[in-house]
Amino acid sequence: MNLVVLSRNVKLYSTKRLVEAAQKRGHEIRVIDHSKCDLVIEKKKPKVLYRGEEITGVNAVIPRIGASVTFYGTAVVRQFEMMNVFTAVESQALVRSRDKLRSLQILSRAGLGLPKTVFTNYSKDVERTLREVGGAPVIIKLLEGTQGLGVVLAENKKAAVSVIEAFNGLKARVIVQEFIKESRGEDIRAFVVDGHVVGAMVRTAKEGEFRSNLHRGGTAKVIELTLEEEIAAIKAANAMKLGIAGVDMLRSERGPLIIEVNSSPGLEGIEMATGVDIAGQIIKYIEKNV
């Protein structure tokens, strides 16, 4: 097959691993910076140009779209879909996953466990918002934040009120979530490919930090999911209509709680922790569907 990875950096671990895995299985593959693509939209013959050259003969694309270029990146993915090219992550699923509020609503409708969450239209009754999630401490998240950026732990009522009022004053959209004390600074990343969990790790926040993201200094180790956690991860990926997903969840007294479903999950942490060839699983998924 002729494959394309949509990535802005050929040196990224995830991008390199996908290239290696595809070549190992005998496929032609190239990396294209989606931010440098031009889209030609016309009746019956949509085209993608890369550095002035028309891209043809592609069987499948693997989107690795960063949050900062979601709008244009998804437009490029959508253009390939119009050209009847299989995309490992569909454009609409990618857009849904980047909208934290919409994602939570979809997951809630699917009957999945979630931390109690409140979203308001810059309400001035901040104290009522805090009461709805059980009071301080609370987690306050920017809707556009990624990799732990834009996530604040307000440990008491006064701090929570100050942070929420500051964000409201800046017209920055935030959600307020209950703090799950029993998670103890740990969360689970389950990597789902084609409706199966192919690897799972537990991420632990570094000392003095509540965010367990590896980009924020957290550590990871392999973990065996419970049946309930595995079912929740698969159900979450299916609800978001993602063939490839990183499902993040917390262990709580009321079972697994989904905090995010990532449509471009990194491979480095999960492969290092589990020793599983996740990139190879992604290529197999594409082979099955093309």
β-strand partners of 151: 141
What mean pLDDT is predicted for residues 19-29? Answer: 98
Is 47 strand, coil or helix? strand
Peptide bond into 137 cis (omega under 30): yes
Please say whether the beta carbons of 35 and 73 come within 8 A. Answer: yes
pLDDT at res. 219 = 80
Burial of 46 (0-12, 13-18, 19+ CB in 10 A): middle
Q: Domain residues of the chain, as ranges? A: 2-96, 117-179, 182-289
pLDDT at res. 240 = 97
pLDDT at res. 210 = 56
The correct answer on CATH 2.50.20.10 for the domain covering 117-179 is: no
Q: Which residues contact 189 (CB under 8 A, 6 or more apart)?
A: 200, 201, 202, 203, 220, 246, 247, 248, 265, 269, 270
CATH class of 2-96: alpha beta
pLDDT at res. 147 = 57
Is 86 strand, coil or helix? strand
Percent of the chain exceeding pLDDT 70 equals 94
Q: Is the pLDDT of residue 27 over 70?
A: yes
Q: Is the pLDDT of residue 104 over 60?
A: yes
| pLDDT, tens only, 164-205 | 999 999 998 899 999 998 888 889 999 999 999 999 999 987
pLDDT at res. 209 = 56
Residue 225 to residue 233: CA distance in whole angstroms: 10
Q: Is the pLDDT of residue 146 over 90?
A: no
- Kindly indicate the confidence band of residue 68, based on its pLDDT and cuts at 50, 70 and 90: confident
Residue 58 to residue 81: CA distance in whole angstroms: 11
What mean pLDDT is predicted for residues 13-27? Answer: 98
Residue 108 to residue 92: CA distance in whole angstroms: 19
User: Are 117-179 and 182-289 in the same CATH fold?
Assistant: no
| pLDDT, tens only, 72-90 | 999 999 999 999 999 999 9
CATH code of the domain made up of 182-289: 3.30.470.20
Residue 226 to residue 214: CA distance in whole angstroms: 23
CA 45: distance to chain centroid? 32
Taking CA atoms, 101 is separated from 83, 108, 123, 193, 241, in Å, by: 31, 11, 16, 24, 16
| pLDDT, tens only, 115-137 | 999 999 988 899 999 999 999 99
| pLDDT, tens only, 256-283 | 999 999 999 999 999 999 999 999 999 9
Residue 175 to residue 259: CA distance in whole angstroms: 12
- Kindly indicate the confidence band of residue 4, based on its pLDDT and cuts at 50, 70 and 90: very high
Q: Is the pLDDT of residue 216 over 60?
A: no
Q: What is the residue-averaged pLDDT of the chain? A: 92
